[in-house]
Amino acid sequence: MIDRTRCAQLSVLAGKSARELSELARTFLRCAGEQLYVGIYYSRWLIEQLEQHDPRAGLGDRNIRSLIMFVEELNHALHAALQFKRGIREIASEDFARNLELQAQVDTYLVLLLFVAFFRKPQRISRADRRWLHFHLFVRQCPDAFRDANLRGRYLETSQLAATYTHYLDTLNGQRRLDEIRRFHSLDYSGKRERILALMESTSK
């Protein structure tokens, strides 16, 4: 975990386009030899929001966005470490960044489903619940707000792919769903993208 001062320093080192990313929560990665260094920053405002509207007491419009940011940054760090452990060292590549972003959006959706399921007991998660999560995770994103074309393309593509894939996951039950999640996780970005596009093609027939 890093503080605001260190976050500002690393943001400068990350380059001009990085300044467009959220100042509320950030994950920084640096590779040195056979070591991966990870820095996670959460703003004081974000932590205060989660403390005041604790998701463990209930999930709603007041805390959903804060929880999404919190979970996504942890997910970036986790999957960057897993990729590094597998021998992947190109952490500055665009495919690496898109892979982390796509995986984080899918995983965050699954985590939020668990939160909703916990508070819905003994009832099942409804279609309205899933639409609400999709709205906050995918529909509310504004990739067009990025001035940098690369960032704009990254977030536009990954949000569309994640929305499509999570819709597909919602159609699966039990072991099929678990097997699909494991298969998806093992793929690199091009593999994930091809998998989702193939699913889109099969469902359109």
Q: Tens digits of per-residue pLDDT, 105-156?
A: 999 999 999 999 988 877 789 999 999 999 999 998 888 888 889 999 999 9
For the stretch 39-97, pLDDT in tens is 999 999 999 999 999 999 999 999 999 999 999 999 999 999 999 999 998 999 999 99
- The pLDDT confidence band at residue 204, using thresholds 50, 70 and 90, is low
Backbone torsion region of residue 17, taken as left when φ is above 0, otherwise alpha when ψ lies between -120 and 50, otherwise beta: alpha
With 80 as the cut, is the pLDDT of residue 100 above it? yes
Q: Quick check: bond before 122 cis, omega within 30?
A: yes
Helix boundaries (H) for 87-148: 94-120, 127-134
Locate tokens 């952490």: which residue?
Answer: 91
With 90 as the cut, is the pLDDT of residue 172 above it? yes
Q: Which two tokens stand for residue 183?
A: 């298969």
CA 27 to chain centre: 12
d(CA 102, CA 160): 9
d(CA 123, CA 200): 30
pLDDT for the residue 157: 96
Q: For residues 105 and 137, is the Cβ–Cβ distance under 8 A? A: yes
Query: Considering just the CA atoms, what is the radius of gyration of the chain in Å?
Result: 17
pLDDT for the residue 205: 60
Identify the helix (H) or strand (E) that includes residue 28: strand 25-32
Q: Would you list the domain boundaries of the chain?
A: 61-204
pLDDT for the residue 91: 92
